[in-house]
Chain A
């Protein structure tokens, strides 16, 4: 089954069939007037809106702003989550000191902090950064901790018998052993990252894709609203594909991640 499913042009086209059919159905419904444009504009209208926004430069500007926000939040929150995950995974004392508090904070939906964040930071850049960083922190922290904890103790004993010092043991045994779990965390984090950014940009921003959508809403420009949604979908898919590519590169040793 698996062998035949990955061969031939037909099977390669298979994942695209359903989206394509939906778009055609959507286009036909719009052209026949079943879907009024103020409810849902035709795909061609969305494409046209994209073209207009590309030409006046605002699409690229807003996209760049949103992308930069997403990445800075991911890097800040991810770095803190990764470091604390390693620290608590390697040191029992650190875990006893910090983990219960972190687990408690984890249960607060980070978007519930928006009113407080606006009071603290206003609607400036730091508010959005804070929310994205907080959102991505937990998936990365939890999965890094889990990954470090679950490295095969027999491999660690082997490393010690072969005279590895702590640094080598970490670099050659613990970190590579934790990597599959860390990647799971990264993929979760990317999902949270876009979600947080969308909410933060629609509530309080004067630039970015979310802002573009909210501004369009004021003038009933449904084509631009839909365009924004489509862009978020594409960004999410790109982030996921990038992670998959990284997994294939760094986890090539693991049969579960070998090229499908």
Chain B
């Protein structure tokens, strides 16, 4: 497929400062407090709040460890992985950001884990062993963004057909290729 730069992508977006707005509910406040104490066990992790979501930024090597910790520790109890998102920041920061949204059905709180991956080698440990719901979400990320998952080699395509070339979720993939006719 001919790679053609789309006009909407090539125009440089100016980077603005993100908003700092905290709007945590009671459960979120509590989670933020206890998470702050426990997170020091994981070096290099950062905790922040984005509107109503407590967010932990962590290095990819520690992902499996923190996921197990969050699921099996009594006071966190994140028994449900809602979704896995990939955000493509290749153009500005040369990273892909993996975002795991976790929800505790038992304790009614939620959080997000962010894992930045270098765009030249986006490899991340699989969390399939922790939550089974990660299965198709990881395959989707592999299909659309070319993320590689440790321990899950040779993933067959899920949403795309066999033999599809390129990663259509990425910003660099040509999009609107047609003109007026």
Partners in one complex: no
The interface of chain B, by Cβ under 8 A from chain A, is: none
The interface of chain A, by Cβ under 8 A from chain B, is: none
